[in-house]
Structure 1
């Protein structure tokens, strides 16, 4: 198990606001996860250049905010390449259902943006990936109706979040960069 953990949402939001960055923690993680799922290389820091261009007119981030982004990036890489397919979403406290649902929508919208920023060709997607992307596009329009039963909507939102995770993992399995596997050319096989 990894020592990397998602930061507290409120603390992360404070750090981003203090750094005068107009991105929420949910949007930041969605964007990074989208870039990784879209095939952005894991071999360099090109994700930072894209992130800075997208969120801060190409200017670097203050150090505390940059450390926050590095942490989110590292956890996202780890979760996307694990075999046990666990994915954590950086979302606010779910006690405020409206804010929580908005953050899910923002996460998904920025995930889709991240896919585009990664420069992947979406022309040759598998049917499963096309369906997952279509589902995410619909989820990105998500909203909570305050006049409906909020307890029922909270249950439905949790189901939507689980579906988001499945869609993201499906897209990543089709398009996402995989870690380089070191191979040796002079391997000998020994049978016992």
Structure 2
């Protein structure tokens, strides 16, 4: 959800329409329960504040710790970026027409979103390449 909410905010959706849009994208248009909706409002507010902070306090919500493999981290990053691009795309429908440095950055994000690996490949070799 963090990637999706971040993408919506970066796409310019800063009014209260973000939550119904989130319902449409993730829950077949049905409203979330009170506790989940409240947690998402807090996440939206904290994410918005972090993105607007001059010290750039924004951080991706990704798994961390010694028990998380590099593959799980890469998979989580690809998922976060996919959701970010979805959120950005629903708020900026002409995203594929963006050119220049911004267009290049979006292309880079699309490449990251396609990150994957073949489970049959040598795991140690893959870890070194990531």
Tell me the TM-score normalised to structure 2 length: 0.83
C-alpha contact 2:70 2:127 (8 A) present in aligned 1: no
Ranges in structure 1 where 5+ consecutive residues have no aligned partner: 1-27, 157-192
Counterpart of 2:115 in structure 1 is 142
Superposed structure 1 runs of 4+ greater than 6 Å apart? none
Q: Distance in 1 between matches of 2:86 and 2:2?
A: 12
Counterpart of 1:60 in structure 2 is 31
Query: How much has 1:119 moved relative to structure 2?
Result: 3.3
Tell me the TM-score normalised to structure 1 length: 0.58
Q: Distance in 2 between matches of 1:100 and 1:139?
A: 12
The 5 A counterparts of 1:119-138 are 119-122=92-95, 125=98, 127-138=100-111
Q: Distance in 2 between matches of 1:57 and 1:119?
A: 21
Q: Deviations over 1:38-82 (max 9, x none)?
A: 111x2x310001000101111110122112211221111011111
The 5 A counterparts of 1:4-83 are 28-40=1-13, 42=14, 44-83=15-54
More helix by share: 2
Which protein is bigger by CA-based radius of gyration?
A: 1
Structure of higher RCO (CA pairs closer than 8 Å, 6+ residues apart): 2
Q: Distance in 2 between matches of 1:57 and 1:144?
A: 31
Ranges in structure 2 where 5+ consecutive residues have no aligned partner: none
Q: Distance in 2 between matches of 1:129 and 1:86?
A: 21
Alignment of 1:99 with 2:72, yes or no, is yes
